Structure 1
Amino acid sequence: MRSISDTIARLHPHTTGVAADRLTDLADVFDNPGALHARCYVPDDLAAGAALVVVLHGCTQTAAGYDHGSGWSELADRYGFALLFPEQTRANNPNLCFNWFQPGDTTRGQGEVASICAMIEKITADHALDPARVFVTGLSAGGAMTAAMLATYPEIFASGAIVAGLPHGTASSVPQAMERMRGSGLPDRHALAQAVRGASAHRGPWPRVSVWHGTADATVAPATGEAVVAQWLGVHDLSAGPSETRQVDGDAQRFWHGPDGRVAVEAHAIAGMGHGTPLDPRGEDGCGTSGPFMLDVGVSSTLRIAESWGLTDTVAVRRPRPTVAAAPAKPALPTHGVGDVIEGALRAAGLMR
């Protein structure tokens, strides 16, 4: 009988290994207790003092595949910043999920979070990047690991963006992780905030955080995204009521301003979207490519996140969009029920080492 991992790979062959790889390996001369791979993208002639964006892929994805889908390296070329893509290995997790629910991988100085921190230190030093402009984002398990990085190393990051992710410190086993993904058993706002405040000796200032979630996400419940918002409102000591609300093409946007007048927490609920990263690959400002878990909903979270971090303030260099090597032809997959099977498989085994 095939394993669940093999079933997922056969049902979802586009999630790994078929996109053109624009990334290179970061030299493996850093502390790596989490045994992760380190991939990166540094545009040609990048100026000293450029910003760094750390990007964390979701389950069943590779770093190159997530870059291809999200379009981050396209924006890096356009606006001049560096990218770091930590990458999970099958030895750590058979479905390439970051182990966001394992205390040994989400405790400061240990495991995967310590590896990612060491990668950041190395690439920042190697390319003379600005340590005050380091940002982090990720999808699903990568979103949950983004939350873990913001909690365990808050002094490193100016801002983070959590896409279809989960709050830090709410699960320490596979059964608990399953419950949290369903939106069940989530702690209250005070306990959520304490999970972040207790993750390091840092006492502020805290990173700014944006949360992106589809209202029809059947893999990580929208209630879980609301818990991420509540966690960071508690950390920033902000009221539950937003400072500003907007409706854009049916999508609800909420913003909470800190004492300095800047947005400290923001939440984007994408109407009708399932589990994945929201994209808009069309037009002059388009980036990324739609595919499994990379959802063309007419909203480019990649561009919007970069704008909110001030990465697009420079004059854009309009380079041709990167060409993609054609993947070998594959037999068409049946569409009916595939998503349900994949989601069920991920729930059943995607979180297991």
Structure 2
Amino acid sequence: MRPSILRRLFRSVVSATALGVLLTTPVTATAAASAAPAGTSASAADTLHQVTGFGSNPGNLQMFAYTPSTAPAGAPLVVALHGCTQSANAYHANSGWPKFADAWGFDVVYPQTTSANNALSCFSWFDAAKDTRGRGEAASIVQMVEYAQRTYGSDGRRVYVTGLSAGGGMTANLLAAYPDVFAGGSVASGLPAQCATTQAAASGCQTGPQKLSPAQWGDKVRASYPGYTGPWPRVAIWQGTSDYTVYPANATALRDQWTDVWGIGQTPDGTSTLPGNTTRTVYDDASGKPAVETYSMSGMGHGLAVDPGVGASQCGSTAAYFLDTVCSTYYTGVFWGLDRDAPGGGDGLPAPTGLRVTGVTADSASLSWSPVAEAASYVVHRDGTKVASPTGTSFTDSGLSPGVSYRYTVAAVGSSGAVGATAPAVTATTTGGSTVRCFTASNYAHVTAGRARTSGGYVYAHGSGQNMGLYNVFVTHTLKESPAGYFVIADSGCQAGSSLKSL
């Protein structure tokens, strides 16, 4: 009997006994469904179910789990934290995580807090007695991870945590306190690690954290687990530019905090545009692999970005604090590499090696890579979207915009049509730096998009160094870019080679 079938049978038994009671209306991977009556063939492993007895639980949290039968032993584990006034059930139903857990084969644990802990059912990201190493809610969540490793066989090297709002604040604290547990994190509309240590200080963080240097923000992480030297988690940061609950300054502080921890500075290594008016900015580690990524959704308010639909990169459903822009869950999963071990695995095909950019023009980028034995073809993605399926080991992508950075990945495709592991991404920047581009946005948005930097509470344009005024969402400027990466203030008018963009 195959290991995956054994694991599936094992999970059915465990889910009906040791894992606790099923929710009254569990949510399946595709839609809300009624619980199957006892004795039917439906497996509790494929529903959201509550787990009891996972540990001493010092933080008085509840544990829910989604353990799809497609997840083999040794699968990755994702811990997903809801926002205030939400529940594990709501987060599971609307965030899109079950879709990719099914497709890519991993388990999801949803910690849940209640009004017994906080009047608004918020995770206590502002309380040092609850959000630090070995204490309170943080310790309870790590006990859930340990339970998953014992019970589901989760791979301890591939444990990730994500959260929205207060859940995002707790996510940042978990990454800081337990970098030995979590390989990566994703903070959506959240706060930097240890921004506040009392409830009274929490509102000050939400409306704009104190102006600390990147090193000071980084010190808050380093102090959370003294003596730890790495490796550090890879961190994705999601923020709407019109969020007036958790202000965009928090995304910049998070960026400063984690790039400093990684020792890579705050100068982007690439930017790209995603659906939903989303700008992705990438900060690579010393090996050229993305360590920190920021995602700025123009005009989005407070919530988790979702993109309802059946497309490969779409997910979720709209509800309170689940906002229709872009599927943050898909891009977060790709950033973590969860898509590389999808069931079928391209007939076991490894990731192509030697992926490199061989040439660029103003409107094209050429790639090449080493052949993979037994590959029938390859699939090329640009910024997460499939653009080609060549049979050879090279490809030229045309019709691009001048002076723009694009990120490419390549995977081999087996004779069955299954896609194998994905090669680490490379970035190609088209020529044509003399082409003028114009961007109109708030100072916060300019900083988040990598067009400007902050210092002493003020914003300065990259390249020219011009002072753009105070660092907030209420000051708006038009920046002209020419050549690529060099910005000047052009509020009186900007003659662009392409259309004016409001970001």
With normalisation by structure 1, the TM-score equals 0.81
2:304–2:322 Cα contact (<8 Å) kept: yes
User: Quick one: structure 1 residues 186 and 87, their matched pair in 2 at CA, closer, same or farther if it must change by over 3 Å?
Assistant: farther
Segments of structure 2 that go 5 or more residues without pairing to the other structure are: 1-24, 34-46, 345-503
Once the 2 structures are TM-superposed, how far is the Cα of residue 185 of structure 1 from its aligned partner? 2.2
Matches of 1:184 and 1:314, distance apart in 2: 38
Q: Please tell me the residue identity of whatever aligns with 2:278.
A: D
Q: What residue is the counterpart of 1:130 in the other structure?
A: 155
Q: What residue is the counterpart of 1:326 in the other structure?
A: none
Matches of 1:58 and 1:253, distance apart in 2: 23
Q: What residue is the counterpart of 1:279 in the other structure?
A: 306
RMSD after superposition: 1.7
Once the 2 structures are TM-superposed, how far is the Cα of residue 193 of structure 1 from its aligned partner? 0.4
Q: 1:83 aligns with which of 108, 118, 122?
A: 108
* Higher deviation after alignment, 233-242 or 132-141: 233-242
Q: Deviations over 1:114-135 (max 9, x none)?
A: 1101110011110111111101
Q: Deviations over 1:86-111 (max 9, x none)?
A: 10021101111000000101121100
Counterpart check, 1:255 vs 2:289: no
Q: What residue is the counterpart of 1:32 in the other structure?
A: 57
Q: What residue is the counterpart of 1:270 in the other structure?
A: 297
- The structure in which a higher percent of residues are helix is 1
Matches of 1:257 and 1:284, distance apart in 2: 28
Q: What residue is the counterpart of 1:308 in the other structure?
A: 335
Q: Deviations over 1:177-224 (max 9, x none)?
A: 101100042432221100100101321110110100000001000011
Counterpart check, 1:66 vs 2:94: no
1:252–1:270 Cα contact (<8 Å) kept: yes
Q: 1:240 aligns with which of 266, 283, 287?
A: 266
Matches of 2:287 and 2:150, distance apart in 1: 31
2:70–2:102 Cα contact (<8 Å) kept: no
* Matched residues, number: 300
* SS class of match (1:103): coil
Aligned-pair identity (%)? 39
Matches of 1:271 and 1:45, distance apart in 2: 36
1:28–1:38 Cα contact (<8 Å) kept: no
Q: What residue is the counterpart of 1:223 in the other structure?
A: 249
- The structure in which a higher percent of residues are strand is 2
Instruction: Choose 1 or 2 for highest CA Rg.
Output: 2
Q: Please tell me the residue identity of whatever aligns with 1:171.
A: A
1:236–1:264 Cα contact (<8 Å) kept: yes
Q: What residue is the counterpart of 2:230 in the other structure?
A: 204
Matches of 2:208 and 2:132, distance apart in 1: 23
Matches of 2:26 and 2:153, distance apart in 1: 32
Segments of structure 1 that go 5 or more residues without pairing to the other structure are: 1-16, 318-353
Once the 2 structures are TM-superposed, how far is the Cα of residue 314 of structure 1 from its aligned partner? 3.9
- RCO comparison, higher one (Cα < 8 Å, 6+): 1
